[in-house]
Amino acid sequence: MRIRSIASILACAVMATGLHAQSVKGDYPIRPVPFTQVHFNDGFWAPKMEVNASVTIPYTLQKCRETGRIDNFLKAAGKMPVGKITEYPFDDTDLYKLIEGASYSLQTKPDPALDKTLDTLIAIIGDAQEPDGYLYTFRTMKPDTLHPWISPKRWENDPDLSHELYNSGHLFEAAVAHYLATGKKSFLDIAIKNADLLVKDFGPGKAAYFPGHQVVEMGLARMYRVTGKKEYLDLAKFFLDIRGNGRIRGAEYSQSHKMVTDQHEAVGHAVRAAYMYTGMADVAALTGNKAYIRAINDIWQDVVEHKLYLTGGIGATGNGEAFGAAYQLPNMSAYAETCASIANVYWNSRMFLMNGDARYIDVLERILYNGLLSGVSLSGDRFFYPNPLASMGQHQRSAWFGCACCISNMTRFMPSIPGYVYAQRDNHLYVNLYVASASQIDMPAGKLSVGQETEYPWKGKVVLKVDPDKKSAFTIHLRIPGWARQEAVPGSLYQFLDQERKPVNIRLNGKPVKYLMEKGYAVISRSWSKGDKLELELPMEIEKVLANQKVKDDLNRFALQRGPLVYCLEGADNLDSAVNNIMVDRQADFVSGYEPGLLNGVMVLTAKGISTKRQLNSEALLKTAQTVKAIPYYSWNNRGAGEMQVWIPYNESSVRPKPSPTIASKSKVSSSQSNPRMLRGLNDQYEPADAQDHNSVYLHWWPKQNTLEWVQYDFDQDYMVSESKVYWFDDAPFGGCRIPTYYKIYYLEKGRWVPVEVIASDAISKDRYNMVRFKPVLTRALRLEVQLPEEHSAGIHEWIVQ
Q: Which residues of the chain have pLDDT under 50?
A: 1-23
How many helices and strands, by DSSP H and E, does the chain display?
Answer: 17, 32
Give SS3 for 773: strand
Length of the chain in terms of residues written? 802
3-state secondary structure of 585: coil
Range 668-801: architecture per CATH: Sandwich (2.60)
Measuring CA to CA, which residue among 150, 799, 21 is closest to residue 137?
150
- CA–CA dist 369, 15 (Å, integer): 41
CB atoms within 10 A of CB 144: 6
| pTM of the shown model | 0.92
Q: Parallel, antiparallel, or unpaired: how do β-strands 795-801 and 699-700 relate?
A: antiparallel
How many angstroms separate the CA atoms of 57 and 102, rounded?
A: 7
Q: Angle at CA 798, nearest 5°, toward 795 and 799?
A: 105
Give start-end residues of each CATH 1.50.10 domain in the chain.
Answer: 6-420
Residues 288 and 590: their CA atoms lie apart, in Å, by 49
| Cα–Cα separations (whole angstroms), residue 613 to 243, 423, 582, 583 | 54, 53, 9, 11
From-to residues of CATH 2.60.40.1180 in the chain: 423-479+503-537
Q: Give the per-residue pLDDT at 236.
A: 98
The count of other CB atoms within 10 Å of the CB of residue 662 is 14
* Angstrom distance (rounded) from CA 609 to CA 611: 7
For position 248, what pLDDT does the model report? 60
For residue 392, the model assigns a pLDDT of: 92
Query: Cα–chain-centroid distance for residue 764?
Result: 38
State the Cα–Cα distance between residues 559 and 555, nearest whole angstrom: 11
Our measurement of the distance from residue 294's CA atom to the centroid of its chain's CA atoms, rounded to an integer in Å, reads 26
Residue pair 239/165 in contact by the 8 Å Cβ criterion:
yes
Q: Give the C-alpha separation, 802 to 792, whole Å.
A: 30
For strand 422-425 and strand 31-32, is the pairing parallel, antiparallel, or unpaired?
antiparallel
The answer, yes or no, to whether the previous bond of 131 is cis (omega within 30 of 0) is no
Q: b vs e for 709-722, b when ≥16 Cβ sit within 10 Å of the residue's Cβ? A: bbbbbebeeebebe
Query: Does domain 423-479+503-537 correspond to CATH entry 3.40.630.30?
Result: no
Task: Write the pLDDT tens digit of every residue in 182-223.
Answer: 999 999 999 999 999 999 999 999 988 899 999 999 999 999
| Dihedrals phi, psi of 161, to nearest 5 degrees | -120, -25
Which residue type does 123 have?
A
CA distance 488 to 502: 14
Q: Can you give the pLDDT at residue 24?
A: 59
Query: CA angle 204-210-211, nearest 5°?
Result: 140
HSE-CB for 632 with a 13 A CA cutoff: 27
Fill in the DSSP letter of residue 383. B
If one counts every other C-beta atom within 10 angstroms of the C-beta of residue 657, the result is 19
Q: So what's the architecture of 6-420 in CATH?
A: Alpha/alpha barrel (1.50)
- Exposed, middle or buried by CB within 10 Å (0-12, 13-18, 19+), for 527? exposed
DSSP for 647-680 reads SEE-STTT--PBPPP-TTTTSEEEESS--HHHHH
- CA 699 to each of CA 396, 659, 681: distance values in angstroms, whole numbers, following the listed order: 16, 20, 6
> Which part of the chain has CATH 2.60.120.260?
668-801
Residue pair 418/40 in contact by the 8 Å Cβ criterion: yes
